[in-house]
């Protein structure tokens, strides 16, 4: 993806996407949150009090370095779509022996009762999702009660953190690669149908359900950044700055307008992205929000990995639970 990402120690990264070259295609899977974050205590910029570490007395655990959270998504205080997971990234790996205890310390509270589970994509990243999409209007908070909790590798939590967000409208998008169409639904009713072009057989789009990671007014797309080619003489080389970009995967999949395909609806010439006309891309960019699910079907590439962005719902519930230490847990209602 070509993004730059810095560790911020015990502060929770919760927002700003750092710009860099990106592009369609690619095959990378990422286990660290790369978007939807803002600096808080311990980093430059303004701090959100609700995400700041609470005061901590003298530790009651063995001496050792602290557990540090590199990032958490979604944004504290934000409103997100029905497919957005809670995603936490640790600066250092959590041993498998400690994951159940860590999960139990990560308390999820919802305004309506529901059951969900954590899933470890790696020793560094753990995501929480309900079994099915969130109900619109649900109020959610995550309390990372990590003080005195060990990571199994000699680190101990020294702070607790609080983070909250709201689930917005049920906006779901369906994309048919062979049909060259995109349909946007709000609360189950069709809002708009638009012609699209997606990836070719050589550079196919990812299938499956991917939650919007972030929206950016322009993104520099390069073939080099997604390992297609860095050779300017190669016919697949490109280096373009394109507008109305809705990011779906860390490996470089976007829904956007492309100057190379200004009137989509009939070809399969992208390098994996989904192309809209200029007018449609403006409309879509303004309509969807972070966490809204976009489901692509009919591509030969297969589903995007669950950690290639926020594609949690590409895993079945049994697959999701297989990556959990504590298993299925009811939320606290509050």
**Residue 42 confidence (pLDDT):** 25
Q: What is the Cα–Cα distance from 210 to 288, expressed in whole angstroms?
A: 13
Residue entry with tokens 């570490």? 53
**Residue 225 confidence (pLDDT):** 81
Do 277 and 264 form a contact (C-beta atoms < 8 A)? yes
Q: Calculate the alpha carbon distances from 269 to 62, 260, 304 in Å.
A: 58, 9, 20
Find the range with the poorest average confidence among 72-76, 120-124, 233-237, 309-313: 233-237
| Beta-carbon count within 10 A of 287 CB | 15
Q: Partners of 254 in the beta sheet?
A: 247
Alpha-carbon Rg of the chain, whole angstroms? 20
Mean pLDDT of 39-52: 31
For the chain, how far is it from start to end, CA to CA, in angstroms? 39
pTM: 0.84
Residue 284 CA, chain-centre distance (Å), reads 18
**Residue 247: its H or E element:** strand 239-247
**Is it the case that residue 40 has pLDDT exceeding 70?**
no
**Residue 24 confidence (pLDDT):** 76
Q: What is the DSSP letter of 318?
A: H
Secondary-structure percent of the chain, ordered helix, strand, coil, rounded to 5: 10, 35, 55
**Residue 129: its H or E element:** strand 125-130
Over pLDDT 70: what percentage of the chain?
81
**Is it the case that residue 116 has pLDDT exceeding 80?**
yes
Strand order from edge to edge, sheet including 239-247: 214-222, 239-247, 254-257, 274-276
Q: What is the Cα–Cα distance from 19 to 7, expressed in whole angstroms?
A: 16
Return the SS3 of 78.
strand
Mean pLDDT of 147-155: 95
Sign of CA dihedral 279, 202, 314, 327: negative
Q: Calculate the alpha carbon distances from 278 to 9, 76, 79, 121, 154 in Å.
A: 41, 32, 26, 36, 53
Do 242 and 218 form a contact (C-beta atoms < 8 A)? yes
**Residue 37 confidence (pLDDT):** 41
Find the range with the poorest average confidence among 53-67, 109-123, 253-267: 53-67
Mean pLDDT of 46-54: 37
Average pLDDT, the chain: 84
**Residue 100: its H or E element:** helix 99-105
What angle is formed at CA 126 by the lines to CA 120 and CA 128, rounded to 5 degrees? Answer: 105
**Residue 236 confidence (pLDDT):** 81
**Residue 105 confidence (pLDDT):** 97
Q: How would residue 237 be classed by pLDDT, with cut points 50, 70 and 90?
A: confident
**Residue 26 confidence (pLDDT):** 52
**Is it the case that residue 328 has pLDDT exceeding 60?**
yes
Spatial CA neighbour of 127 closest among 21, 262, 32, 267: 32
Greatest alpha-carbon pair distance for the chain in Å reads 66
């Amino acid at each position: 993806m070509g993004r730059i990402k810095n560790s911020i120690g015990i502060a929770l990264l919760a927002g700003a996407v750092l710009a860099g070259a990106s592009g369609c295609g690619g095959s990378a899977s990422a286990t660290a949150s790369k978007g939807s974050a803002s600096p808080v205590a311990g980093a430059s910029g303004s701090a959100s009090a609700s995400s700041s570490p609470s005061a901590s007395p003298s530790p009651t655990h063995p001496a050792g370095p602290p557990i540090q959270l590199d990032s958490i998504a979604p944004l504290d205080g934000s409103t997100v779509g029905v497919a957005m997971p809670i995603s936490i990234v640790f600066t250092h790996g959590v041993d498998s022996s400690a994951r159940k205890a860590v999960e139990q310390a990560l308390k999820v509270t919802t305004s309506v009762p529901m059951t969900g589970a954590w899933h470890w994509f790696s020793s560094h990243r753990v995501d929480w999702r309900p079994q099915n999409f969130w109900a619109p209007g649900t109020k959610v908070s995550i309390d990372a009660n990590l003080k005195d909790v060990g990571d199994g590798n000699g680190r101990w939590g020294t702070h607790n953190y609080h983070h909250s967000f709201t689930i917005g409208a049920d906006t779901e998008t369906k994309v048919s690669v062979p049909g060259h169409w995109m349909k946007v639904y709000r609360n189950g009713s069709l809002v708009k149908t638009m012609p699209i072009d997606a990836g070719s057989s050589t550079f196919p789009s990812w299938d499956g359900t991917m939650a919007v990671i972030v929206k950016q007014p322009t993104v520099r797309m390069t073939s080099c950044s997604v390992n297609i080619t860095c050779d300017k003489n190669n016919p697949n080389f490109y280096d373009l700055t394109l507008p109305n970009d809705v990011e779906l995967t860390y490996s470089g999949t976007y829904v956007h307008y492309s100057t190379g395909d200004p009137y989509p609806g009939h070809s399969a010439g992208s390098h994996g992205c989904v192309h809209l006309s200029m007018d449609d891309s403006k409309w879509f960019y303004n309509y969807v929000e972070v966490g809204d699910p976009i489901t692509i079907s009919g591509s030969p590439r297969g589903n995007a990995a669950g950690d290639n962005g926020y594609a949690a719902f590409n895993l079945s519930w049994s697959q999701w639970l297989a990556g959990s230490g504590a298993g299925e847990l009811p939320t606290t209602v509050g």
